[in-house]
Amino acid sequence: MSIDSELLSENTSSTPLTVDEVIACLRCRWGVSYDLRLFSRDGHLYFHIMWGYLEQQSFPKTEEAYRDHLKKILEIINRIGQSGFVREWISNIDSKPRIGKALSLQLRGDVRLREFVL
């Protein structure tokens, strides 16, 4: 299922990602609100779409906690100028998360990325 082209056309690569936009994209693509994470490894920052999701009975976060978690992740993505890159990737990735196997995107680095990678 592809993301609604109207939603994509109103969001240019420089437009910051919002919690509502990302949740809408996840639900449109896969029908659920997957957990998102950022990982730092070997000087690189990775964006992961995890296999757990908000609508899952055993999901450990409330909707409010989930939205707050996404807000923090998206703030970093937006601050390092990667909103368009992440938006495009979410819109076009062919796979879906599976138990034990997250979808992973290495974020492109520039000087702003150093602030978030130890």
**Domain assignment of residue 113, yes or no:** no
Mean pLDDT of the chain: 86
Q: Phi and psi dihedrals of 73, rounded to 5?
A: -65, -45
Which residues constitute the domain of residue 31? 5-108
Distance from chain centroid for Cα 41: 17
Quick check: 8 pLDDT over 50?
A: no
**Domain assignment of residue 73, yes or no:** yes
Tens digits of residue pLDDT in 79-108? 999 999 999 999 999 999 999 999 999 998
Contact between 112 and 81 under an 8 Å Cβ cutoff? The reply is yes
**Domain assignment of residue 46, yes or no:** yes
Q: Which residues pair with 46 in a beta bridge?
A: 39, 106
Tens digits of residue pLDDT in 28-45? 999 999 999 999 888 889
**Domain assignment of residue 56, yes or no:** yes
**Domain assignment of residue 27, yes or no:** yes
**CATH number, position 93:** 3.30.428.40
Instruction: Give the predicted TM-score (pTM) of the model.
Output: 0.80
Domain count, the chain: 1
Give the burial class of 18: count Cβ atoms within 10 A of its Cβ; 0-12 exposed, 13-18 middle, 19 or more buried.
middle
Q: Which residue bears the tokens 């592809």? A: 2
